[in-house]
Structure 1
Amino acid sequence: MTTHSPVTSAAPPADAAPLLAAEDLHITFPGRHGADPARAVDGVDLHIRPGEIVALVGESGCGKTTLARSLLGLVPPTSGRVTFGGKPLGYRSRALKAYRKRVQLVLQDPSGSLNPRHTVYDAVAEGLRIHRYPGDERAAVAQALSRAGLRPPERFFLRYPHELSGGQRQRVVIAGALVLEPELIVADEPVASLDASVRGEILALLLRLRDELGLSALVVTHDLGLAWNIADRVAVMYLGRIVETGAVEQVLTAPQHPYTKALLSVLPEAGGEPVVLTGEPPDPSRVPSGCRFHVRCQVLASGDAERAGVARDCRTRDLPVLSGGGASQVACHWATASKISSPSGD
């Protein structure tokens, strides 16, 4: 996807209280056939402030979807907590129902998200009916469709998903999330199934909704190009941990972690040779000692970590959990050593 300048809308102040926060979150699943438990999310702090778009980026299997599902209340944490508006998330059905009115999910596959037997009107009205909306249902559905860019909305009421284009179906899914007037949406690969020509329209829509409604968003993606186009801040996840985070322009123009550099190197706009990581991401039931990326790290393999005097640390010394705020941070022995030896950050 073609990248442009990053978003220019004013991001919330760095000291703004988070709307949604994960605090020391751990999620483990039982191992198969007696294996050790899988540490899908292994110590994550992540804050999303009002009106902020945060991109959560990483390869498949890194834990980002499990983290997103936990933030939605779909997967209770093994330890740690999720807070919304400063209050811990409750997991009783009544508390979750109230919470899901304020935090909505937008899935990556609109065809799978929409019941083919339901009209557009029924698909968008479903949330209103679940939450027993007391107002004018027809007006609320029309407003949501209009906000999602389907105008005039009445023209879409009686149409079925198979009668719509992929981009229109995704707009219906977004309208279904908007109809309850949430404060935050979690968008899991929101443009992955769309043609390149439509992706920009959906990203522009999400930005417009942030600007007009003050909507916050967590965008889950493997695509750093998408993060560049839409996010205020990016969090790069690897094997259950966030390994680098900061303002999107800073992280994507001056990445510090070797994993972030590898992800960026495969973008068409990057130029130069792509970094080919050896092997598959390690099994979350067998997290390596030291830096969890070290078994695939191009800096360690090239000898640069050895020359910097940190190769032993990379293999044996654990790194701290990054804090969830907006400051630029990296969990990497080599990047930390490089900063110390070059205070200017060059």
Structure 2
Amino acid sequence: MSTDTTARPEPGTATGALLSARDLRVVFPGRRGAPPARAVDGVDLDIGAGEIVALVGESGCGKTTLARSLLGLVRPTSGTVAFDGRPLAYSSGALKSYRKRAQLVLQDPSGSLNPRHTVYDAVAEGLRIHGYAGDERAAVAEALARAGLRPPERFFLRYPHELSGGQRQRVVIAGALVLEPELIVADEPVASLDASVRGEILALLLRLRDELGLSALVVTHDLGLAWNIADRVAVMYLGRVVETGPVESVLTNPRHPYTRALLSVLPESEGTPVVLTGEPPDPSRIPSGCRFHARCQVLASGAAEAVADRCRGEDLPVLPGGGAGAVACHWVGREKAD
């Protein structure tokens, strides 16, 4: 297993986690008598100071709900979220203060920006909400410049429809940066952008980490993106993290069958792509045992027959939130024991 991380810093090791979640659960009531949906079903997750963590998984696995609960936008059913060592409080005043330190960057910049607001007003909105008492014009200009829109004054009076997709995403990032947060949660930050622009936005996020010490949780379905930007990766399936660790370790030597399947369909992957069969994740119908067992290619092939009963009937523990790699899989556990 490759664990060489010399090309990357070791963020968060001195001061501990900036943001941490413990046994986080978010349950939504079912509609018209349907069972409740366990969107997040027991997650531990740490993000260190100056660290970029990629949260990866298929659509419907719960990663966006998890991200919103970490920001206080969705109140967890149980479990705790702590920021800078203090449990998150849910009063309006406490949340307002917290969201100055932790900002959300949404997937679609066209939907994030009011078409009737200029770029200046879009970026200045956060300052006005939080009662900023300094030089608003200078703060907006600095945020736009940091987001790569230079000279910033040239963009002040433009409207979103006058910008390219990459420029709109930079405006959204500038709107988050203007409050000088310590953490950004970016939900599919480049999914709606052309391939030629994706690299520019990813390079921007890395530069912001290096220059400002910014921490980030990047929510994505793209393991290739995780490889290019993250220090650590957490792979999520049906409400729970099933594999986690340093990005080089997880993506060069994946252990969980689900992670292997996700990696197998990348263009640069060798071998035959794994086509997952069975029903896609349904948070209102979480199976007993390993939640992936009904779609597991290893179990279906017979290779995991020795642990098949455990796969179908024995639940797996919540993985630790940070540090060394970990995997929730009975088959991998047996291989390691052997």
TM range (shorter): over 0.9
Aligned to 1:340: 337
Q: 1:6·1:230 contact (CA, 8 Å) conserved in 2?
A: no
- Structure 2 CA distance for aligned equivalents of residues 182 and 7 of structure 1: 27
Pick one of 317, 326, 330 that aligns with 2:327: 330
Aligned to 1:344: none
Deviations 1:41-89 (A, max 9, x none): 0000000000000000000000000000000101111000110011110
SS in 1 for 2:304: helix
Q: 1:44·1:242 contact (CA, 8 Å) conserved in 2?
A: yes
TM-score (norm 1): 0.95
SS in 1 for 2:22: strand
Aligned to 1:50: 49
Deviations 1:7-50 (A, max 9, x none): 93313154641100111101101012222211100000000000
Aligned to 1:320: 317
- Structure 2 CA distance for aligned equivalents of residues 282 and 226 of structure 1: 22
Q: 5+ residue gaps in structure 1? A: 342-346
Aligned to 1:196: 195
- Structure 1 CA distance for aligned equivalents of residues 164 and 203 of structure 2: 18
Aligned letter for 1:269? E
Cα pair distance change 1:13/1:73, threshold 3 Å = closer
Q: How many residues align?
A: 335
Aligned letter for 1:241? R
SS in 2 for 1:34: coil
Deviations 1:171-226 (A, max 9, x none): 00000000000000000000000000000000000000000000000000000000
Counting only pairs closer than 5 Å after superposition, residues 7-22 of structure 1 correspond to structure 2 as 8-12=7-11, 14=13, 16-22=15-21
Pick one of 308, 311, 323 that aligns with 2:308: 311
Counting only pairs closer than 5 Å after superposition, residues 40-79 of structure 1 correspond to structure 2 as 40-79=39-78
- Structure 1 CA distance for aligned equivalents of residues 111 and 170 of structure 2: 14
- Structure 1 CA distance for aligned equivalents of residues 32 and 12 of structure 2: 48
- Structure 2 CA distance for aligned equivalents of residues 176 and 280 of structure 1: 39
Counting only pairs closer than 5 Å after superposition, residues 90-109 of structure 1 correspond to structure 2 as 90-109=89-108
CA RMSD of aligned residues (A): 1.3
- Structure 1 CA distance for aligned equivalents of residues 232 and 276 of structure 2: 25
- Structure 2 CA distance for aligned equivalents of residues 247 and 109 of structure 1: 28
Between stretches 222-231 and 6-15, larger displacement belongs to 6-15
Counting only pairs closer than 5 Å after superposition, residues 141-160 of structure 1 correspond to structure 2 as 141-160=140-159
TM-score (norm 2): 0.97
- Structure 2 CA distance for aligned equivalents of residues 135 and 279 of structure 1: 57
Q: 1:9·1:211 contact (CA, 8 Å) conserved in 2?
A: no
